[in-house]
Structure 1
Amino acid sequence: MKCTLEVDCTPLEARQFFGLPDVQPIQATIMAEVEKKMLAEMDRFSPDGVLKSWLSMFAQTPEQFQQAFSKMMFTGMNRPKG
């Protein structure tokens, strides 16, 4: 014998029926915190923020560029030949 029982209820109604706690207030609090953190970090990943972080790795003045280039050249020239 096969018996099928279909229950049409919302998740909240099912939790109440089984005696489980209502998690909506906790979920709302956690989601608000996640949203706040995401909005705070969003500026770091804007095109302007990403470009600034990439450009900070390179020399900013001609003197810094010249020093970096000289350092690379002298390091390459002083390598022992193998």
Structure 2
Amino acid sequence: MKVSVDIDCTPEEARRFLGLPDLTPIHDLYLEQMRKAMTDGIGQEAFGEMMKSWAPLGENGMALWRQMMDGMSGKR
């Protein structure tokens, strides 16, 4: 027997139903800082340093994430 359920809801409704936190204020702050950095005309090196501070794991974190996803999907 196969049962299929379709749920029609917005991402906000799904987030609330699943009990996930609302990260909208953090996302808005991040975007505002990115806009400010772009309009202030920071240099490429300073931008790279800013991004490293916001994503502390950086490239290593992405490699770890990719390795974990590949392991779960059976990819080698």
TM superposition score normalised by structure 1: 0.47
Larger radius of gyration: 1
TM superposition score normalised by structure 2: 0.50
